[in-house]
């Protein structure tokens, strides 16, 4: 079962700025730089629900179906539109990959230059390819994401270039629209929202969105927020910065999250938790989604499902749960091939009997 937004069936989706105009910091003087992002599907995940039990319903929010293949487009459309409104001609960001791809695409759409700082050797090929194809100036540093973010913050403070990382408040304003869409599709907020945590902006943005809708009467409640970091990068869960973060889920390989305090506020105000999952648990959930639900997400996205499975004993009976899948699996094909645990039958003669034999006939 896929839940859509019924009121939009009779008209074309205009992008999230136009659709959620009254809920965003925009005005008639704001140019709308859009790739018609948003309106991503909320899909029922019965295999995951069965694994949890307790008569629960589980849905996955497929934000990997945004234009550049990740949730970053939600924040980028607002951040780039506001930068354009202020006269910026260039953008800059630090990135583990998805932010650079999104920033580069929206810069191209807005006729702006883009500069992206990346940790050398730790960006998946699919993401790097996107940034380069969109014309970004890619600068790979011998350091991690946290060091790259410190550099771009300093550059933006000294030079005429707009910073579009999630420390830019317009990014979170755009990202909160995913929470709006979940409520619009379900008719109310879920009981639990499970989400990967890297730089911690997205869990903060979702909480902003759920709170905004509840405060304006669009929903009757807010969910408990459950964020999941990778064990080797679990700064918030461990309550200490990680100098050398590590994980197979490169999109959340961040040791000192910029939105740390916003994320812990979301956790505490919602009565949720921020925990960690191992790489083995992430990869198991990654394969489960692909093989049992037909959904190919990038490894970091699977942290939300891995966390839900780890916390299954805490799930209330009859709960409605949404797991956020932040990025498309095609972002990181190397990891998929390495960890799919499926063989390719090669060197088979080109005849019917040989192929049928491989198939077990």
DSSP-assigned beta bridge partners for residue 42: 3, 61
Average pLDDT for 242-256 = 94
Angstrom distance (rounded) from CA 179 to CA 195? 12
Q: Report which of 329, 331, 326 is spatially closest to residue 73, judged by C-alpha positions.
A: 326
Smallest CA-to-CA distance from 323 within 223, 214, 150, 192 is with 192
CA nearest 32: which of 88, 79, 91?
79
pLDDT at 41: 98
C-beta of residue 236 within 8 angstroms of C-beta of residue 227: yes
> Percent of the chain beyond pLDDT 70?
97
CB 119 within 8 A of CB 140: yes
Please write the tens of the pLDDT for every residue from 99-152: 999 999 999 999 999 999 988 887 888 888 999 999 999 999 999 999 999 999
pLDDT at residue 8, as a whole number: 46
Please give the residue that has the higher pLDDT: either 188 or 96.
188
Sign of the dihedral defined by the CA atoms of residues 86, 90, 95, 98, in that order: positive
**159 conformational bin, left if phi > 0, alpha if psi -120 to 50, beta if neither:** beta
pLDDT tens digit string along 183-211?
999 999 999 999 999 999 999 999 999 99
pLDDT of residue 4: 53
Strand 42-44 relative to strand 2-3, pairing: antiparallel
Helices (H), 8-116: 16-19, 46-52, 72-85, 98-109
Q: Average pLDDT for residues 153-157, to the nearest whole number?
A: 95
Q: 3-class secondary structure for 104-131? A: HHHHHHCCCEEEEEEECCCCCHHHHHHH
Which of 242, 300, 311, 215 minimizes the C-alpha distance to 272?
311
With pLDDT > 90 as the criterion, what percentage of the chain qualifies? 90
Q: Is 198 left (phi over 0), alpha (psi -120 to 50) or beta?
A: alpha
When pLDDT is cut at 50, 70 and 90, the band that residue 42 belongs to is very high
- The pLDDT value recorded for residue 238 is 97
In sequence order, what are the residues at sequence separation of 6 or more whose Cβ sits closer than 8 angstroms to the Cβ of residue 222? 189, 207, 210, 211, 214, 270
Strand bridging mode 113-119 / 90-94: parallel
Please state the φ and ψ torsions of residue 323, each to the nearest 5 degrees: -105, 125
Ranges of H-type helices in 193-343: 201-215, 235-238, 260-270, 279-292, 303-310, 333-339
Intra-chain end-to-end CA distance of the chain, in Å:
34
| Mean pLDDT score of the chain | 94
């Amino acid at each position: 079962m896929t839940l859509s937004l019924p009121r939009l069936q009779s008209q074309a989706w205009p992008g999230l700025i136009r659709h959620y105009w009254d809920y965003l910091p925009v005005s008639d003087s704001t140019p709308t730089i859009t790739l018609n992002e948003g309106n991503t599907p909320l899909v029922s995940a019965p295999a995951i629900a069965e694994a949890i039990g307790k008569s629960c319903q589980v849905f996955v929010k497929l934000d990997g179906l945004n234009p550049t293949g990740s949730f970053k487009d939600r924040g980028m459309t607002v951040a780039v539109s506001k930068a354009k409104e202020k006269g910026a001609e260039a953008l800059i960001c630090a990135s583990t990959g998805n932010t650079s791809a999104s920033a580069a695409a929206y810069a191209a759409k807005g006729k702006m230059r883009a500069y992206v700082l990346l940790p050398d050797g730790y960006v998946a090929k699919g993401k790097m390819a996107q940034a380069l194809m969109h014309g970004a100036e890619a600068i790979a540093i011998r350091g991690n994401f946290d060091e790259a973010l410190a550099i771009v913050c300093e550059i933006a403070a000294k030079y005429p270039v707009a910073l579009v990382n999630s420390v830019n408040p317009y990014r979170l304003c755009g990202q909160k629209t995913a929470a709006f869409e979940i409520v619009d599709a379900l008719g109310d907020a879920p009981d639990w929202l499970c989400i990967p945590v890297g730089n911690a902006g997205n869990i903060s943005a979702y909480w902003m969105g759920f709170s905004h809708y509840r405060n304006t009467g669009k929903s009757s409640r807010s969910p408990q927020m459950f964020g999941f970091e990778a064990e080797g990068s679990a700064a918030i869960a461990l309550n200490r910065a990680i100098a050398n973060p590590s994980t197979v889920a490169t999109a959340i390989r961040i040791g000192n999250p910029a939105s740390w305090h916003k994320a812990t506020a979301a956790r505490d105000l919602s009565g949720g938790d921020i925990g960690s999952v191992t790489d083995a648990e992430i990869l198991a959930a990654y394969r489960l989604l692909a093989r049992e639900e037909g959904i190919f997400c990038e490894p970091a996205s699977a942290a939300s499902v891995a966390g839900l499975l780890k916390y299954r004993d805490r799930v209330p009976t009859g709960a409605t749960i949404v797991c956020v899948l932040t990025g498309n699996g095609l972002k990181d094909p190397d990891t998929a091939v390495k960890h799919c645990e499926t063989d390719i039958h090669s060197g088979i003669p080109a005849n019917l009997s040989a192929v049928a034999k491989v198939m077990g006939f």
